[in-house]
């Protein structure tokens, strides 16, 4: 009996298509903050990698073919329209983009954050597993995944059950036994995928696994490295942010004579390609698998990774230049100003929250000087607390911008109090009318703050999270053959909005088809990441004594 759905009802699909996560709704803000805090606290004491790290896991061999195609996607399980649009494109036999006919990958690599808002078995079922099974119900594809920070929100429990127990998702078959893995690819290429819990450290089992994998390499072999976060973007604020990746490359891969011409990541929901100046390495962020769009207009044009730092004084600095973004910086900037319409419309709970806050503040100001001072202090503190850096440390601009935002909210409530004072008869109806107006004004003020702060590198994530832009999605299709590795970044300007069931389709055909054909395109021409790189001898080994003295000096200076 065929399992193909006759229509798009949940009973036929066996999952419920989800709407995009509303990140600024009070419920999501509270739930996500609690999960994130608990994961950060308890993750340091109960590390699931240490439990599953004892499972036997080989290096998975995909080296037999003369030509191997790999699909890479990250930041996946959000709203159905965006998630399924990318899953559907990857599941087609081939794509005709930019004059290139690119066949479906026989290996699918998921680069982190496979579900939103948090790792939970129900969310995996509805937001990731259901759409991917519907897109590829039967064509055999090997599936490998690493977790992102959202997968870690439940301590990696749901991720481990989904990806490390040999389960199938339609035609996708999982093999890995741990949250990290190594693949042996054709023509002396490899793919190493790391699990750095909240980008803090690599556990010993993981290090030993990759060292054993590297023992199978020959000098000159080349490695595609997959990581969960683009830590190279943060070296200007935190010179040590790239140290972990650099340490791994130098002490595990380069120590065996291997080279890393390509590093892939997700986490930021856009496409950004940095190429090494006078070098061969490519840093590629491709987090366009389904989650809300992230800005590109704030990306640096040039960066250094690694950057010499106190713990890594011997790190050989590499300079990179931004080659391509998707969306373009101009289009990203245009999206930013949509916050004033999209924030209140898509996050009505946030408007209600701001209405309550504004009403309490206004009434407090009407009560007198003492309560006015109290509410001003609370709003100032809330403004500063909201102005967080996301990555790196707080700087003076976070405190200044947060303080100004808090003062602006105080001024808004004070203005409301002065208006109310003008009425001779203030009743319950006065406040009922004031409530939605104050909520909308407070929300617009938050939007104005986010636009300004975003340009200054503060709250960059919250600006676009509040808008939930589902278009401008992307994934990578990578060919590995005798000529090396070629990366084809594929973009989708507009995701599908209308869908139809295909009950008469073949066994491997997608269950759901777009009513209007999707129009993928190449973001930039396919680029080679297979040039000969520097030998291991040209990469200076880290001096352990010098590193220890530098770390000790930093520790004593901070006391």
Q: Which residue has the higher pLDDT, 203 or 269?
A: 269
Are 488 and 532 spatial neighbours (Cβ–Cβ below 8 Å)? no
207-212: long-range contacts (C-beta < 8 A, 24 or more apart)? 207/252, 209/53, 209/57, 209/178, 209/180, 209/182, 210/180, 210/182, 210/248, 210/252, 211/252
Above 80 in pLDDT, residue 198?
no
CA distance 506 to 168: 19
Element (H, E) at 46: none
Measured CA to CA, the distance from residue 36 to residue 197 in angstroms comes to 12
Q: Which residue has the higher pLDDT, 109 or 35?
A: 109
Name the band, by pLDDT with cuts 50, 70 and 90, for residue 428.
confident
Query: Cα–Cα distance between 394 and 388 in angstroms, integer?
Result: 7
Phi/psi at 184 (5° precision): -95, 115
C-alpha to C-alpha distance for 438 and 427, rounded to whole angstroms: 17
pLDDT of 389 > 70? The answer is no
State pLDDT tens for residues 263-293.
Answer: 999 999 999 999 999 999 999 999 999 999 9
For range 178-204, the mean pLDDT: 89
pLDDT of 541 above 60:
no
**Residue 399 predicted with pLDDT over 80:** yes
- Gap between the Cα atoms of 375 and 368, Å rounded: 11
Q: What is the 8-class DSSP label of residue 233?
A: G
Using alpha carbons, select from 215, 227, 283, 288 the residue that is nearest to residue 253. Answer: 215
User: pLDDT > 90: what percent of the chain?
Assistant: 69
Query: Which pLDDT does position 39 carry in this prediction?
Result: 60
pLDDT band at 192 (very low <50, low <70, confident <90, very high): very high
* pLDDT value at 531 more than 60: no
Domain borders along the chain are 26-327+472-552, 339-466
Helix (H, G, I), strand (E, B) or coil at 107: strand
Tell me: domain 26-327+472-552, CATH 3.60.21.10, correct?
Answer: yes
Q: State the residue for tokens 């291991």.
A: 536
How far apart CA 307 and CA 313 sit, in angstroms, is 9
- Highest mean pLDDT pick, 63-72, 301-310, 461-470: 63-72
Alpha carbon of 438 to those of 50, 365, 433: distances in Å?
51, 14, 9
- The helices-and-strands tally (H runs, E runs) of the chain is 17, 22
pLDDT in tens, 429-478: 888 999 999 999 999 999 999 999 988 888 878 889 889 999 999 999 99
Closest Cα partner for 112 from 267, 248, 241, 2? 267
Which residues is 474 bridged to in the sheet? 491
Burial of 236 (0-12, 13-18, 19+ CB in 10 A): middle
Task: Give pLDDT, residue 53.
Answer: 75
What pLDDT band is residue 43 in, cutting at 50, 70 and 90? Answer: low
Q: Are 414 and 363 in contact (CB under 8 A)?
A: no
User: What average pLDDT score do residues 383-396 get?
Assistant: 79
Q: Kindly report, residue by residue over 370-379, the tens digit of the pLDDT.
A: 999 999 999 9
List, for residues 240-263, the tens digit of each pLDDT value. Answer: 889 889 989 999 999 999 999 999
Q: What is the dihedral of CA 105, 111, 115, 119, to 10 degrees?
A: 130
Q: 181: Cβ–Cβ under 8 A, 6 or more apart, which residues?
A: 57, 60, 144, 146, 193
Q: Given a cut of 60, is residue 155 above it in pLDDT?
A: yes
Cβ neighbors of 334 (< 8 A, separation 6 or more) are none
Give the global pTM: 0.89
Q: Among 176, 182, 86, which residue's Cα sits nearest to residue 128?
A: 86
Torsion of CA 526, 527, 529, 533, to 10 degrees: 170
pLDDT at residue 372 in the model: 93
Distance separating alpha carbons of residues 241 and 231, to the nearest angstrom: 6
| Highest mean pLDDT: which range of 191-200, 445-454, 542-551 | 445-454
CA dist 24 and 465 (Å) reads 7
Residues 83-101, buried b or exposed e (16+ Cβ, 10 A)?
bbbbbbbbbbeebebeebe
Per-residue confidence at 41, pLDDT binned at 50, 70, 90? low
Cα 450 to Cα 339: distance, rounded to the nearest angstrom: 8
DSSP annotation of 443: H
Give me the chain's average pLDDT, please: 88
């Amino acid at each position: 009996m065929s399992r193909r759905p006759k229509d798009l009802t949940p009973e036929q699909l066996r999952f419920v298509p989800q709407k995009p996560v509303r990140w600024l709704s009070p419920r999501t803000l509270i739930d996500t903050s609690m999960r994130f805090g608990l994961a950060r606290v308890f993750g340091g004491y109960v590390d699931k990698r240490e439990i599953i790290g004892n499972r036997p896991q080989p290096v998975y061999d995909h080296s037999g073919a003369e030509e191997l195609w790999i699909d890479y996607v990250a930041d996946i399980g959000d709203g159905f329209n965006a998630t399924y649009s990318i899953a559907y494109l990857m599941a087609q036999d081939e794509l005709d983009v930019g004059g290139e006919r690119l066949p479906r990958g026989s290996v699918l690599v998921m680069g982190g954050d496979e579900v939103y808002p948090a790792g939970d078995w129900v969310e995996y079922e509805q937001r990731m597993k259901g759409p991917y099974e519907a897109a590829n119900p039967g064509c055999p594809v090997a599936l490998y995944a690493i977790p992102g920070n959202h997968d870690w929100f439940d301590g990696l429990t749901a991720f481990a059950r989904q990806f490390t127990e040999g389960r199938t998702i339609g035609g996708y078959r999982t093999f890995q036994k741990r949250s990290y893995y190594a693949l042996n690819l054709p023509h002396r290429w490899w793919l190493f995928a790391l699990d750095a819990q909240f980008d803090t450290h690599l556990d010993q089992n993981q290090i030993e696994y990759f060292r054993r994998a590297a023992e199978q390499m020959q000098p000159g072999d080349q490695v595609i490295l997959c990581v969960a976060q683009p830590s190279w973007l943060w070296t200007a604020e935190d010179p040590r942010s790239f140290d972990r990746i650099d340490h791994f490359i130098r002490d595990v891969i380069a120590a065996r004579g291997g080279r890393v011409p390509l590093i892939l990541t997700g986490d930021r929901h856009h496409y950004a390609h940095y190429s090494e100046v006078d070098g061969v390495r490519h840093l590629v962020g491709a987090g366009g698998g389904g989650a809300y769009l992230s800005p590109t207009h704030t990306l640096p044009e040039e960066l250094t990774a690694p950057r010499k730092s106190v713990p890594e004084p011997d790190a050989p600095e590499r300079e990179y230049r931004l080659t391509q973004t998707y969306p373009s910086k101009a289009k990203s900037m245009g999206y930013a100003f949509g916050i004033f319409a999209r924030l209140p419309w898509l996050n009505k709970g946030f408007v209600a929250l701001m209405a309550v806050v504004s009403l309490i503040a206004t009434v407090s100001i009407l009560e007198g000087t003492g309560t006015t001072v109290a509410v001003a202090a609370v709003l100032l503190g809330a403004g500063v607390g909201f102005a967080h850096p996301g990555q790196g440390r707080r700087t003076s601009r976070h405190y200044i911008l947060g303080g100004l935002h808090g003062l602006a909210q105080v001024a808004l409530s004070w203005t409301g109090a002065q208006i109310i004072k003008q009425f001779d008869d203030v009743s319950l109806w006065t406040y009922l009318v004031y409530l939605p107006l104050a909520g909308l004004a407070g929300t617009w003020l938050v939007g104005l703050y986010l636009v300004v702060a975003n340009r200054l590198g503060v709250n960059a994530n919250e600006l676009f999270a509040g808008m939930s832009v589902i278009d401008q999605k992307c994934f990578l299709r990578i060919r590995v053959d005798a000529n090396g590795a070629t990366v084809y970044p594929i973009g989708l300007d507009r995701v599908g909005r209308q869908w139809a069931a295909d009950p008469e389709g073949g066994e491997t055909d997608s269950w759901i088809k777009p009513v209007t054909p999707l129009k993928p395109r190449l973001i930039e021409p396919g680029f080679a990441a297979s040039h000969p790189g520097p030998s291991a001898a040209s990469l200076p080994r880290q001096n352990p004594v010098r590193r220890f003295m530098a770390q000790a000096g930093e520790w004593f200076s901070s006391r």
